[in-house]
Amino acid sequence: MKPAPFVRHVPRTLDEALKILTDVAGEDGRVLAGGQSLVPIMAFRLAKPAHLVDINEVEGLDKIADDGKTLTIGARVRHAAFHQPVTANPLGALLSYVARHIAHYPIRMRGTFCGSLAHADPSSEWCLTSATLGAVMVAKSVKGTRDIKAAEFFDGIMSTNLKEDELLAEMRLPLLPADAKFGFYEFSRRAGDFAMAASLVTYRLDGGKIVDARVGLGGAEASPRRIPEAEAELNGKAPSDAAFRAAGEAASAAIEPLEDHQTDAAYRRDLVKVVVRRALEHSLT
Amino acid sequence: MSAHTKGSGGDGMKWVGRSIRRVEDPALLRGRGRFTGDLPATHWVRFVRSPNAAGKIKSISAPDGAVVITAADIKGVKKITPMLHKFEYRPVGQPILADGEVRFVGEAVVAVVAATEEEAEDIADLVEIDIEDAEALVDSRVAIAAGARQIHAEAPGNVILKGEVKSPGFDAVWASAAKIVKIDARSNRQNATPMEPRAAHAAYDAASGRVTLHCTTQMPHLMRTAIADCLGMPESDLRVIAPDVGGGFGQKMSLCTEYVLVTWLARHLKSSVGWTEDRRENLIASFHSRDQYVTLEGAFDKDAKLLALRADVLSNVGAYSCFPTTSGVEPLMAMAEMPGPYDFQHYQCLARGALTNTCTMAAYRGVSRPVITFTLERLMDKAAKAFAIDPVDIRRKNLITTFPYKSAMGLEYDEASYRETMEMAVEAINLPAFRARQQLARERGEYLGIGFATFSERTGYGSPAFAARGMAITPGWETVHVTVDPSGYVEARIGSSPHGQGLRTTLAQIIADEIGVPPDMIKIVHGDTETAPYGWGTFASRSLVISGGATLIASRKIRAKLLKIAEHMLEAAETDIVLADGKAKVAGTDREVSIAAMAREAYTQTHRFKGEIEPGLSESGTYDPPGTFSNACHVAIVRLDPETGHVKLERYLVAEDAGRIINPMIADGQVHGGVVQGIGNALLEEIIYDESGAILTANLADYMPPTAHEVPPIELHHMETPSTQSVTKAKGLGEGGTIGPPAAIVNAINDAMAPFDVEIDTIPATPQRIRALLRNAERAP
């Protein structure tokens, strides 16, 4: 459980960090932010990066900004920053509720929002949040800046479309409508474990009917995504047990379930049905 | 919460029975503990382990200049070959490094030596082992099936041992039964998961040619005997020290090949050599346990009275046999103790151990009894259902109530409180109120369940009990040397090797009462073959009973001698002298002499004794008791989420009887820790192999011990039935906490699932397994 040899670089500015990333791109250079996922997999020698570009000393990466339309989250913003709402917009309450489900307190003090996205674990709460709410990832390199939509960012289990010389410098989440409702539910065997299925939902009510439904699902497939079949069961209907159940059933039927030793396909579908419905039920509380 | 209700106090004792603080804790809590891995070494070892479950080693390659040791380098080192002289046992040998063939994923093949752990791991990464893959036999039923590939030439059919018993007249009684109730139980594989993984540090002394081995072990003396045997060296050239040990739970009572190799390397390199395994190694390559299939049938008369039990135990013992207990430890424990706390006289059992291409099985806290208690208690609940009576009532009909009692296996049960602890638990949990709450909850679509487990547990047994297994190494007795030094302070050297049990505190309490000095003047010395008398270490819920008994015997001799010295110094009759508060006093007078003064006299003024009293103040006691049965009733209340299969423990209650309690706080701590491990067994912890013999649960995210979130407050109630089979009247309680939870919790889950008419008889009862049953059940969500 000792990592393979590596060189640690500690840039002080973003330009310096991007320069180093470019220099080491061909030699499996990796960005080190909170290290809560990368360091354990290095200890297991499942990853053996020759270079680590440690961004913990880089100025300006720890900012959270709300410009009235968008919430921008810097590369080094820790999970714990969201323990209290970061904005009065309903998005603040949503992120605060979701954050409490991420691992354990000491991990939340160190791990970062953008690090979770770059790591792209299928069960990550922030990946689910980004996919559900239509986040935009801002990738920077010495060549320039590239905006990547969440739907195009995730590329399977622990894989993204970030290039080797790119840093996920920040991510942008659209603020929610003032009357937006949200609900979240995740299932794991022990508190703080990786979610075996998780769902985040948002919608508005217009004349008592659901509009703009977003049903996101994480932990169930290779990448988190919105499930249009479930959203179709909700839009235009009043919130009801029947509608919520139908959405859960639709999501359960729509997925290509991940399988592992504690979750076969049938069980994953069971869980998806439940987490979607319970996320919707949570939206009413 | 503790309730001491029966036979406690009242005999004038002063220290025994009090919750004094553990003398062990200040150093550990302040980070001043000393563990094996803290020692500096000149060389560090990293083992390269087999990635294959089975096959011939074709070649091994290492980078140029690397120091690597393979089986070819240690030809003179003997294999570990544990022996049983009964039960058709087939001795199989385990080479210290895999020799020509590998038999499980994780088997050590190459030892890399370097200046640091990091460098050793870097080099190990570059070592390549080419193995000609053979079919892996993972499941015990597959391994013993006709035509299966043979794992060891010495063990045909992959059966390493077979025990059979059948009581006379069994068939006639069986035929007379009104009902036969049957369970096919499955216990999956677990790892004891001590917080400190295995570690060894061997240092060669050039002046004497001796080696000092520090290692994290439960039995330092036997490690010395065994390692000296393997290396063909005099035992006196090897000193074994168990410093602070971060949990053992049985995993650290077996000899591991790595400790032999580290000792060999220190002699070979004439230097110091360290090894600390990582968590992954501990999970795949230390020792596993509890991988059993148990089929159990009970024959009942028309009144639900148990007449006979018939059992078939198949234990997956892994690739090799563990030393010293052998792979008989699980199947033979199951065979001997299956009858449990119930009154019946006819029993048939077939117990087998199956060799497989998996990590070797060894003892883990409770040894088989969590599994057999789970099986038997599930059977009793099934029988209650078959007779349409309450689970508590069927136990009332069948628990043993008269003592001593001879079991169908011929074991003698001493006085216990099977029925009383159950009634205590039933009252404390308020069963009628629970049933009402359960009914209301069901009407709301919520599913609560309650489960009971009553069990007996043989503890503190000496060499006669172990001898019944026919072991080449038959443990049992303990010796304690108690010395009052010339300053009046007391030192007891013990052969037990406590590693978290608080024995330094409890033994001091026993000595304090006997010779009249406070515990803070008493030191307990253990864990070093140079300073402690030969002993068997700490395992099998034995140390407080056996080492405690030996301590009491030695202390009584000290007491007798102190009284003689006092008689001499105070010129009074021995019968008029009282020993207390560090003094000897002549009753009814103001004449007294301090124990310190008597001790000084015993060493420095012996001419005054005129040959009537031997010089010095040091006595020895040895104790080898027959064994005494502790007992308990555990109760679990669970909330089942039928849609996800998730089980939340709402309440856990233990009514425990371990005889006289020396220190109630320490006793409670033992039960708490055991229950937590039992919760892991019941719900969470499982080592999973795939068909190729690779482990899918090689880290603590996939192998899941319970965390604080999964453990409810544990409510304890004690009864004290003083043991007649133990000089201190204490019974053992180290393992009891672990034994009850799988039975109580899974009974509770089945109670919660009763409306759906499905049952689970597998541990751990994971949400996936529960959901698989409910998915196909009528009426279930």
For domain A7-54, which CATH number applies: 3.30.470.20, 3.40.50.11540, 3.90.1150.10, 3.30.43.10?
3.30.43.10
Beta strands B583-586 and B592-594 are antiparallel
In a shared domain, residues B496 and B547: yes
In this complex, the residue of A44, A190, A266 whose CB is nearest that of residue B704 is A190
Q: Which of B709, B768, B774 to mutate to test the interface with A (most CBs of A within 10 A)?
A: B768
Collapsing DSSP to helix, strand or coil, B83 comes out as coil
B466 pLDDT exceeds 90? no
Domain with CATH 3.30.390.50 in chain A: 181-282
CB contacts of A261 in chain B (<8 Å) are: 688, 690, 696-697, 702
B280 with A1: Cβ contact below 8 A: yes
What sign results for the dihedral spanned by CA atoms A62, A66, A67, A69?
A: positive
Residue B650 in contact with residue B639, Cβ under 8 Å?
Answer: yes
Rounded average pLDDT over A131-148: 98
In a shared domain, residues B662 and B616: no
In a shared domain, residues B738 and B688: yes
Burial of B64 (0-12, 13-18, 19+ CB in 10 A): exposed
pLDDT at B10: 37
Rounded average pLDDT over B553-578: 95
ipTM summary value: 0.96
In a shared domain, residues B644 and B687: yes
CB contacts of B710 in chain A (<8 Å) are: 190-191
A93 pLDDT exceeds 80? yes
Q: What is the pLDDT of residues B215-243, one digit of tens each?
A: 999 999 999 999 999 999 999 999 999 99
How many Cα atoms occupy the beta-carbon half-sphere of A183 within 13 Å?
20
In a shared domain, residues B551 and B617: yes
Rounded average pLDDT over B584-612: 94
Beta strands B762-763 and B179-187 are parallel
Q: Read off the pLDDT band of B8 (50, 70, 90).
A: very low
How close A274 comes to chain B (CA, Å)?
Answer: 7
In this complex, the residue of B696, B699, B707 whose CB is nearest that of residue A190 is B707
Q: Read off the pLDDT band of B781 (50, 70, 90).
A: confident
Instruction: Kindly state whether A54 is in contact with chain B, defined as any CB-CB distance less than 8 angstroms.
Output: no
CB contacts of B125 in chain A (<8 Å) are: 4, 45
Q: What is the pLDDT of residues B70-99, one digit of tens each?
A: 999 999 999 999 999 999 999 999 999 999
Residue B388 resides in a domain: yes
CB contacts of B279 in chain A (<8 Å) are: 1
In this complex, the residue of B699, B706, B768 whose CB is nearest that of residue A264 is B768
Q: CATH number, domain at B667?
A: 3.30.365.10
Q: What is the pLDDT of residues B118-156, one digit of tens each?
A: 999 999 999 999 999 999 999 999 999 999 999 999 999
In this complex, the residue of A1, A4, A270 whose CB is nearest that of residue B278 is A1
CB contacts of A2 in chain B (<8 Å) are: 117-118, 121-122
User: Into how many domains does chain B fold?
Assistant: 3
In a shared domain, residues B211 and B88: yes
A270 with B118: Cβ contact below 8 A: no
Residue B175 resides in a domain: no
Q: Read off the pLDDT band of B14 (50, 70, 90).
A: confident
A81 pLDDT exceeds 90? yes
Mean pLDDT over each residue of chain A, to the nearest integer: 97
Nearest CA in chain B to A262: B768
Domain with CATH 3.30.43.10 in chain A: 7-54
- Sheet of B583-586, strands arranged across: B577-580, B583-586, B592-594
Q: Read off the pLDDT band of B13 (50, 70, 90).
A: low
Residue B7 resides in a domain: no
Query: How many of the other CB atoms lie within 10 Å of CB of B200?
Result: 30
Q: Is B147 left (phi over 0), alpha (psi -120 to 50) or beta?
A: left
Q: Which of B48, B49, B640, B643 to mutate to test the interface with A (most CBs of A within 10 A)?
A: B643
Rounded average pLDDT over B531-545: 94
Residue B425 in contact with residue B652, Cβ under 8 Å?
Answer: no
Residue B182 resides in a domain: no
Phi, psi of B303 (to 5 degrees): -100, 20
In a shared domain, residues B273 and B233: yes
In a shared domain, residues B513 and B569: yes
CA distance A59 to A56: 8
CA distance B155 to B12: 58
CB contacts of B709 in chain A (<8 Å) are: 190-192
In a shared domain, residues B83 and B229: yes
- Cis amide bond preceding B324, omega within 30: yes
pLDDT at B468: 86
Q: Which residues of B488-509 are buried (b: 16+ CB within 10 A; e: fewer)?
A: bbbbbbbbbbbbbbbbbbbbbb
B6 pLDDT exceeds 70? no
pLDDT at B469: 82
Instruction: Kindly state whether A192 is in contact with chain B, defined as any CB-CB distance less than 8 angstroms.
Output: yes
How many Cα atoms occupy the beta-carbon half-sphere of B35 within 13 Å?
18
CB contacts of B699 in chain A (<8 Å) are: 44
Place of tokens 């550990």: B28
pLDDT at B36: 98
Residue B56 resides in a domain: yes
Cβ-Cβ contacts under 8 Å for B145 (sequence gap 6 or more): none
Residue B588 resides in a domain: yes
In the structure encoding, which two tokens stand for residue B75, read together? 């030809």
In a shared domain, residues B587 and B631: no
Residue B14 resides in a domain: no
A190 with B701: Cβ contact below 8 A: no
Q: Which of A101, A185, A188, A189 to mutate to test the interface with B (most CBs of B within 10 A)?
A: A189
Residue B125 resides in a domain: yes
Q: Read off the pLDDT band of B470 (50, 70, 90).
A: confident
Query: How many of the other CB atoms lie within 10 Å of CB of B425?
Result: 25
Domain with CATH 3.30.465.10 in chain A: 64-174
Strand ranges inside B199-244, DSSP E = 199-205, 210-215, 238-241
A190 with B771: Cβ contact below 8 A: no
- What's the CATH class of domain A64-174? alpha beta
pLDDT at B9: 36
A262 with B709: Cβ contact below 8 A: no
In a shared domain, residues B262 and B277: yes
Amino acid of residue B147: G
B389 pLDDT exceeds 60? yes
Query: How many of the other CB atoms lie within 10 Å of CB of B407?
Result: 22
Q: Read off the pLDDT band of B375 (50, 70, 90).
A: very high
Residue B459 in contact with residue B732, Cβ under 8 Å?
Answer: yes
In a shared domain, residues B99 and B228: yes
Q: How many CB pairs lie under 8 A apart between chains A and B?
A: 62
Rounded average pLDDT over B601-619: 94
pLDDT at B779: 77
Mean pLDDT over each residue of chain B, to the nearest integer: 95
Domain final residue pick, B567, B589, B623 = B623
Collapsing DSSP to helix, strand or coil, B130 comes out as strand
Residues 29-48 of A with CB under 8 A from B: 44-45
A191 with B775: Cβ contact below 8 A: no
B252 pLDDT exceeds 90? yes
Query: pLDDT over 70 for what percent of chain B?
Result: 98
CA distance B410 to B335: 12
B775 with A266: Cβ contact below 8 A: yes
Residue B551 in contact with residue B510, Cβ under 8 Å?
Answer: yes
Task: Look up the CATH architecture of domain A181-282.
Answer: 2-Layer Sandwich (3.30)
Q: CATH number, domain at B117?
A: 3.90.1170.50
Q: What is the pLDDT of residues B270-306, one digit of tens each?
A: 999 999 999 999 999 999 999 999 999 999 999 999 9
pLDDT at A66: 97
How close B21 comes to chain A (CA, Å)?
Answer: 31
Domain containing B42 equals: 36-134+197-245+252-285
B555 pLDDT exceeds 60? yes
Cβ-Cβ contacts under 8 Å for A44 (sequence gap 6 or more): A1, B280, B699
CA distance A228 to A242: 18
